[in-house]
């Protein structure tokens, strides 16, 4: 009974996170990672890998659904962001592995990750509230796309969040995208970054070190969440998508603070 209850919890976390992630462009890892930290069933590396695979499945389903719905988005820009995010994702994996090896404490790494994530979310939340009053850069071309992709891929893998609100906010600010265009481009970038993380892990440590007992139910949740989130993204007005985006940020910020307090204690 305890195993069944645990499976239901992980399925529900995956379903809610990936539905919201596909709808808002957050990816879902920004919810999965800190929630699994709170549950405390796995170490940092395993949580990151569970989040990575779950978000990857969601991204494939969501992008496939968007393509079938003939959603319009800048394909060339998305490809450039995706390709460069692979480089950034690989760099993020190496930095995280080095931090885990150097820290010698799972709790210490969790604190570092949650402090970094919390600060980034706070910055993004403030930006989203004031973005209508702030100018955007309106950049275009390959160089800005490649540089932004490397940065997004790094944070995606290092923080184990699959991109999160950072992607959407930066795409809005740098390229002056609308919220839905930024959402789709974010999901494409997240997909590429997670592939990069899986390949880097396969080449370096392999997957034998990880406990994947809850992965099947999380993947099922991700398939459903990716489909539902893509449908909601297309159906809901921009204002509703943006409100959902900001609400989730506050929830995740609260979870980050809880994780920091728990692990410092």
CA distances, 102 to each of 98, 99, 105, 150, 160 (Å): 6, 5, 9, 24, 18
pLDDT value at position 54?
92
pLDDT value at position 160?
67
Is the pTM value of this prediction over 0.85? no
Query: What SS3 string covers 205-249?
Result: CCCCCCCCCCHHHHHHHHHHHHHHHHHHHHHCCHHHHHHHHHHHH
Rounded distance between C-alpha atoms, residue 61 and residue 227, angstroms: 6
> How many domains does the chain contain in total?
1
pLDDT value at position 213?
93
**H-type helices in the chain, by residue range?**
2-24, 29-39, 44-68, 75-103, 106-130, 142-159, 164-175, 179-204, 215-235, 238-264
Averages of pLDDT over runs of 10 residues in the chain (265 residues) are 88 92 78 87 88 88 78 82 85 83 78 86 89 88 91 80 75 88 84 81 86 94 90 86 85 85 80
Rounded distance between C-alpha atoms, residue 23 and residue 229, angstroms: 4
The residue range of the domain holding 208 is 2-264
Rounded distance between C-alpha atoms, residue 127 and residue 110, angstroms: 26
| Under 8 Å between Cβ of 249 and 121 | yes
């Amino acid at each position: 009974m305890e195993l069944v209850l645990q499976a239901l919890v992980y399925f529900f976390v995956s379903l809610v996170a990936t539905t919201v992630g596909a709808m808002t462009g957050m990816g879902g890892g920004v919810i999965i990672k800190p929630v699994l930290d709170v549950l405390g069933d796995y170490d940092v590396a395993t949580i990151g890998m569970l989040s990575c695979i779950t978000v990857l499945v969601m991204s494939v389903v969501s992008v496939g659904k968007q393509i079938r719905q003939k959603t319009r988005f800048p394909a060339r820009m998305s490809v450039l962001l995706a390709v460069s995010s692979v480089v950034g994702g690989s760099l993020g994996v190496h930095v995280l592995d080095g931090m885990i090896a150097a820290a010698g404490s799972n709790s210490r790494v969790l604190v570092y990750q949650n402090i970094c994530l919390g600060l980034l979310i706070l910055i993004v939340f403030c930006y989203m509230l004031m973005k209508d009053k702030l100018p955007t850069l309106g950049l275009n071309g390959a160089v800005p796309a490649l540089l932004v992709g490397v940065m997004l891929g790094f944070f995606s893998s290092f923080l184990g969040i699959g991109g999160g609100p950072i992607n959407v906010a930066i795409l809005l600010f740098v390229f002056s995208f609308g919220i839905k265009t930024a959402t789709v481009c974010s999901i494409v970038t997240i997909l590429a970054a997670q592939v990069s993380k899986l390949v880097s892990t396969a080449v370096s440590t392999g997957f034998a070190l990880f406990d994947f007992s809850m992965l099947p139910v999380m993947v099922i949740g991700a398939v459903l969440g990716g489909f539902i989130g893509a449908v909601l993204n297309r159906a809901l007005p921009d204002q509703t998508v943006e409100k959902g985006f900001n609400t989730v940020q506050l929830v995740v910020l609260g979870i980050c603070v809880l994780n920091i307090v728990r692990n410092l204690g």
